[in-house]
């Protein structure tokens, strides 16, 4: 069965620091990959997605993620975080032609002003 | 542009009571999902539907039932609420399940079982 692992459960950074959140999945075939963000008290919103083509995907608010097939990874990055990036971030994978998307357990990001 | 609407937003129940959560989407999406979100557990899929009149079990279906009588609505029922069902429930919809269409989420229902 497919699964998603997010290695960092809680990350604390200062403003302007660089960010990288890890995400690994377990599935050997074709995958669709997503990063969602949940700001405090809000619902999940899509940050970016990868389906095919360029493995470096750019999303909203300056976020990007790189799909490395050989490592089964889809890490999220941002060169310089802002206080407003404080949120919980979820990696998700849709494998093959499954009807479901599997979410990771989330990484809670706290940015110090 | 309503998107995905969940009602109610908050509810407190006593153990053994029943209730139904309603999810409505106005995007003509085929797929609808119910998740529960618990601290440190991420989102876990309860049930989902790939179209009107269909339902399927997700990762944690026990204690819940669902119905999709109309394409735009997906109901989640708790027949006999238990404290372990205290959670935040999110509904989501998407155009297709396995395509490149992301899921659109509602604002959530915070449910407490005493």
Question: Mean pLDDT lowest for which of A84-98, B25-39, B55-69, B95-109?
Answer: B95-109
Contact A96/B42, CB-based, under 8 Å?
A: no
Chain B residues closer than 8 Å to A7 by CB: none
Q: pLDDT by residue (tens digit) across A13-50?
A: 999 999 999 999 998 788 889 999 999 988 899 999 99
Mean pLDDT in residue range B11-37: 95
Say if residue A95's pLDDT is above 90: no
Nearest to B31 among A34, A49, A99 (CB): A99
Q: Looking at per-residue confidence, does B22 or A101 come out higher?
A: B22
Residues of B with CB under 8 A from a CB of A: 31, 33, 35, 40-45, 48, 50, 56, 58, 90, 92, 97-100, 102-103, 105-108
Question: Mean pLDDT lowest for which of A55-59, B1-5, B58-62?
Answer: B1-5
Pairing of strands A56-58, A3-5: unpaired
Contact B90/A43, CB-based, under 8 Å?
A: yes
What DSSP line would sit under A74-103, residue for residue? EEEEESS--GGG-EEEEEEEEETT-S--EE
Say if residue B99's pLDDT is above 60: no
How many residues make up chain B in this entry?
114
Mean pLDDT in residue range B25-52: 92
Interface test with A, best of B98, B106, B110 (most A CBs within 10 A): B98
| Of the candidates B4, B8, B35, the residue with the CA atom closest to the CA atom of residue B20 | B8
How close is the nearest chain B Cα to the Cα of A94, in Å? 6
Say if residue B98's pLDDT is above 90: no
Chain B residues closer than 8 Å to A2 by CB: none
Nearest to A99 among B48, B106, B108 (CB): B48
User: Both tokens of residue B23?
Assistant: 């999810």
Residue A97: band (very low, low, confident or very high) from pLDDT cuts 50, 70, 90: low
| Residue B107 to residue B25: CA distance in whole angstroms | 12
User: Both tokens of residue A49?
Assistant: 């997605």
Chain B residues closer than 8 Å to A98 by CB: 97-98
Q: Which pLDDT score is estimated for B100?
A: 62
């Amino acid at each position: 069965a497919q699964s998603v692992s997010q290695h960092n459960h809680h990350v604390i950074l200062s403003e302007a620091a660089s960010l990288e959140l890890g995400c690994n999945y377990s599935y050997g075939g074709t995958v669709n990959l997503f990063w969602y963000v949940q700001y405090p008290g809000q619902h999940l919103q899509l940050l970016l997605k990868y389906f095919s083509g360029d493995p470096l995907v750019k999303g909203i608010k300056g976020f990007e993620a790189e799909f490395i097939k050989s490592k089964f990874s889809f890490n999220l990055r941002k060169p310089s975080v802002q206080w407003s990036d404080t949120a919980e971030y979820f990696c998700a994978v849709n494998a093959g032609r499954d009807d479901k998307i599997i979410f990771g357990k989330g990484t809670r990001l706290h940015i110090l002003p | 542009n309503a998107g995905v609407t969940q009602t109610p937003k908050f509810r407190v129940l006593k153990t053994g009571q029943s209730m139904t959560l309603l999810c409505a989407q106005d995007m003509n999406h085929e797929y609808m999902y119910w998740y529960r979100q618990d601290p440190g557990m991420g989102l876990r899929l309860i049930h989902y539907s790939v179209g009107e009149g269909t339902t399927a079990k997700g990762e944690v279906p026990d204690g819940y039932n669902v119905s999709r009588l109309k394409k735009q609505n997906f109901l989640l029922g708790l027949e006999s609420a238990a404290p372990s069902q205290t959670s935040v429930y999110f509904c989501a919809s998407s155009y297709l399940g396995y395509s490149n269409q992301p899921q659109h989420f509602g604002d959530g229902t915070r449910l407490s079982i005493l």
